[in-house]
Chains A and B, each alone.
Chain A
Amino acid sequence: MDKKLDASFERVEKALAVLIDSMTKFTPSEKAANDVVKAERELFLGLEELEVHQRNVARIKQLKQETEALDAQTKQTISALWEMRKELVAVAPTKFSPAKEEKYPFTTQQLLDYARRISRNTLPPPGVTNGVDLSTAAPTTPDDQAATGPNASFATSIGGGGGGSGSGQGTAASTPAPGVQDSFVSQVPSQSQTGATELPVHLKPAVNPLENAPFFTFPTIDRIRSGALAQYQDLINRGIDPKNYDPEEEERRIKQEEQDRKDAEERARQEREEQDRRMREERERMARERELARQQQQQQEGGMDRRGSVLAPGQAGGQPARAAPKQFTFLDEDDDDEDED
């Protein structure tokens, strides 16, 4: 651009120089003047072009600046994002236990059931003190206690329970009434008793079997020793793999086998009986048939007798007497066979 402008200037200057030269020689040349005008016009065109050029340059500059600014902004954003990511990664995630995240709805009934289930392991039964002297926690001083009798500590212990009245202490202590207050009554030390209605120490276990019994809020060693884990250990000790081994199942299996064996025996016995019965029936049938045959034989013979009597009336008595022994002899033999069976 500079070169182009320089060339234009040069041309203008040259043309002007030629014109001035011609004027100084007092021979003004029209051509020179036209050249100057022409050169000047070109120069103006060049200048206009320069102006456009300059404007473009400015525009480019501006755009460049804008780009840079945007680049910087992008970089900044990216670096901010990177920082943020690093921070996020660095933050140790808080572990929420599922209990805090999830709500387990339960009903009042369930709650009460649970309370009932755990109460025998969390609340000492009446009369059980675990060796704790419950009277010591009474807010009253010993003097006050002596003045008001044991009812001060008693009333405090049961917190306004049913037996907290003045006369309640003695009677409750002497009767094994079930109830929470009873446990506290029996724990009142005897030295603070009025004495008249209190049972002697050696009789206390008689009215309350739980007197001085310990209360634990955990399963006792005996319980642990008789539990499922002990059974498990026992199986291991006996060399049985407890996995998938169920003693009840095993017992059932043994019983079942025994039952099967008994059933089989029973079946065999029945079959034997059935066989016997069939044989007996067969024998009876045969006997009946023989009897029938015998009767038929007799009938036939009877017929012959009649015929014989018709034919020879004189021999009617002798003929069957001879034939009968034959028949009976045969039958006797048959009977003998049967007896042998």
Chain B
Amino acid sequence: MASEPMSIGSSAQDPPPVPDATSQEPKYGGHTRFELELEFVQALGNPEYVNYLASRKFLQNPAFVAYLDYLQYWTRPPYLQYITYPTSCLKMLELLQVERFRKDILSPNLTHALVTEGMKAAVEWHRESLS
């Protein structure tokens, strides 16, 4: 994706307002900041995508790390309810705050393991809750 990770105006420190019918948010390419950040934070749930970001050296960029920290507002109400991939997305967001993980995710093995384990867990947690 973007070669310059900070191409969105990064001056805003506060989370974007929760959308409602009357809001007149500025749009970026037809989408509000809320929509773009929601999509991005959920895309982070995909280990391959995070691996891609790591391979493009985004995860070493201090500005990007600060952005990851800023994105943690998605773990709190009222934003939490908009996340439709809660399991992987929130865990990945938590892991991405750790520097070690940001380095380790560059490894394809770890990425692959995260994908397969995630797939396995998606099936097994439900079975465990039933058995």
Residues in chain A within 8 A of chain B (CB atoms): 97-99, 102, 104, 106, 110, 114, 117-118, 121-124, 128-132, 134, 137, 139, 156-159, 161, 184, 214-221, 224, 227-233, 235-236, 242-249
Min Cβ gap B75→A in Å is: 8
Q: Is the CB of B29 within 8 A of A219?
A: no
Q: Is the CB of A247 within 8 A of B30?
A: yes
Query: Interface size bucket, B side?
Result: 35 or more
Q: Using A218-B85, A229-B1 as known contacts, say yes or no to A242 and B119 having CB atoms under 8 A apart.
A: no
Alpha-carbon separation in the docked complex, A235 to B27 (Å): 13
Give the chain A neighbours of B113 by CB distance below 8 A. Answer: none
Q: What residue of chain B has the Cβ atom nearest to residue A243's Cβ?
A: B28
Q: Is the CB of A232 within 8 A of B31?
A: yes
What are some 16 contacts across the A-B interface (CB < 8 A)? A122-B87, A124-B122, A130-B119, A132-B123, A137-B127, A157-B127, A159-B131, A161-B130, A214-B119, A218-B42, A218-B88, A219-B46, A219-B85, A224-B43, A227-B39, A232-B31
Majority secondary structure, B binding face: helix
Q: Is the CB of A221 within 8 A of B85?
A: no
Q: Is the CB of A134 within 8 A of B30?
A: no
Q: Is the CB of B36 within 8 A of A228?
A: yes
Min Cβ gap B51→A in Å is: 11
Given B2, B77, B123, which contacts A129 in the complex, CB threshold below 8 Å?
B123
Min Cβ gap B96→A in Å is: 13
Residues in chain B within 8 A of chain A (CB atoms): 1-2, 7, 9, 26-31, 35-36, 39-40, 42-43, 45-49, 75-78, 81, 83-89, 92, 115, 118-124, 126-128, 130-131
Given B49, B84, B89, B119, which contacts A221 in the complex, CB threshold below 8 Å?
B49
Alpha-carbon separation in the docked complex, A158 to B127 (Å): 7
Extra inter-chain contacts (6) besides given A156-B131, A229-B43, CB under 8 Å: A118-B85, A216-B122, A217-B87, A227-B39, A228-B35, A236-B7
Q: Is the CB of A217 within 8 A of B2?
A: no
Q: Is the CB of B28 within 8 A of A242?
A: yes
Q: Is the CB of A117 within 8 A of B29?
A: no
Q: What residue of chain B has the Cβ atom nearest to residue A159's Cβ?
A: B130
Q: Is the CB of B123 within 8 A of A244?
A: no
Alpha-carbon separation in the docked complex, A246 to B45 (Å): 27
